[in-house]
Amino acid sequence: SLARNTNNREIFKITKLLNTIIKFEYTKRQLGPPQFHHCQKYGHTRNYCYRKPRCVKCGAEHFIDNCTKKLEEPAKCANCGGNHTVNYKGCQTFKKILSRIKSKTKTTKRDNQHTQTQAVPPAPHRSGHDTLRSNPREKPSYAEATANTPPSDQLQIVTSFLNELKLILNSLITALTSLINKFPLLITSNP
């Protein structure tokens, strides 16, 4: 997204970029809440739907491919029971959900403006090692969580790992050295 500027529309005139033909398009605004076209309900998508399928045309519990409704018969909405298809934007159910979303958005904007206008005292300066938090529910960072673990435990773990690794490498070096020493004998014995 671009910051507001008077020449933003100039981007739509660009047709080539780095030897590639391109086309900038306006974003398509979503006209309402998501509607999953399996159950025809609003407010969720495929990953969150466990309902039975509903027909777009007749509102019965089957897929549109299995619908036997004739073209002359009126459509029936699966959400409100009205004489229209489920995806009709004039549906009362759609309008109610849309008005709820708009009222929540207005409330959120009003709350944000209200909190921004309130005077907030400056936070006291804290050092980086200070684990006191202004919000007790906030999770501590990784650095804060590991700051209280005694370094001797960590040092002991690393030291024991290095000692084990040293033993393995020493035995491997010994085996390779003996193999290399036997190699000239193998060459001379097999003509």
Query: For the range 173-182, what are the long-range contacts, defined as Cβ-Cβ under 8 Å and sequence gap of 24 or more?
Result: none
* Sign of the torsion angle spanned by Cα atoms 38, 42, 45, 48: negative
Domain locations in the chain as residue ranges = 46-111, 153-191
Question: pLDDT band at residue 149, thresholds of 50, 70 and 90?
Answer: low
Structure-model confidence comparison of residues 59 and 190, the more confident one = 59
pTM: 0.39
Q: Are 64 and 72 in contact (CB under 8 A)?
A: no
Question: pLDDT band at residue 116, thresholds of 50, 70 and 90?
Answer: low
Q: How far apart are CA 94 and CA 101, in angstroms?
A: 11
pLDDT for 15-33, tens place per residue? 988 888 988 887 776 667 7
pLDDT for 84-97, tens place per residue? 888 888 888 888 88
Share of the chain above pLDDT 70, in %: 75
SS (H, E, C) 14-25: CCEECCEECCCC
